[in-house]
Amino acid sequence: MEITSEEITLHIERAKKGKQGAFKFLLDYYWNEVFGFQMKRVRNEHEAEDITIETFAKAFDKIETFDEKYTFSTWLITISKNIQIDKTRKKNASIYSNTTDTSNEQIQKIADHSPTPEDKLIREQNLDELLRYIKQLKPHYQEVINLRYFQEMSYNDISETLEEPLNNVKVRLLRARKLLAEIITKKD
């Protein structure tokens, strides 16, 4: 089924109102495009994935500034390109920093009020099976799943533990849940 530009616009408007489902749709729909763009630029899967996560975190944080006369994918790619350029400059200057361009005051919460379908699916699995599925994820996804669901840490606590910006943690967890749900669905 092809997604129309009207559907995308509707999801963007819903995301501007803080609807979790809209954020998930936009992440799922545009993930491969942004990730593929970064793979061509950095030629490193882990680095491309990190930049893609930061891209969505920054885009979701600033979604109210998106101008509908432009295409959403172009906006995301521009954010992604700028993040990659900044990272390259920092790397080339041998400066290591755990900060982002956004301050804690600027970070808006991505709504997380009700369990997503992925959450429901995860909870329905028995623990042994679930742990086997989790082990199939990349280590940094395993880590956020462990911290959130087994150690029952808040997003803020996870952010502090991983020394990562809050929105990066939220997007990484969203992506981890999606990948885990796909693994579980394939096995059933």
Express each pLDDT in 122-149 by its tens digit. Answer: 555 566 677 888 899 999 999 999 998 8
The answer to the question of residue 18 being in a domain is yes
Residues 83 and 11 in one domain: yes
**Position 55 confidence tier, pLDDT thresholds 50, 70, 90:** very high
Residues 16 and 83 in one domain: yes
The answer to the question of residue 104 being in a domain is no
Residues 12 and 62 in one domain: yes
Report DSSP state, residue 149. Answer: I
Asked if 167 and 57 touch (Cβ cutoff 8 Å), the reply is: yes
**pLDDT, mean over the chain:** 83
pLDDT tens-digit profile of 12-41?
999 999 898 999 999 999 999 999 999 999
Give the Cα separation of 163 and 168 in Å (integer).
10
Residues 71 and 121 in one domain: no
Residue-number span of the structural domain to which 163 is assigned: 117-187
pTM score? 0.63
pLDDT tens-digit profile of 68-110?
888 999 999 999 999 999 888 888 775 444 444 544 444 455 4
Sign of torsion, CA 81 62 60 7? negative
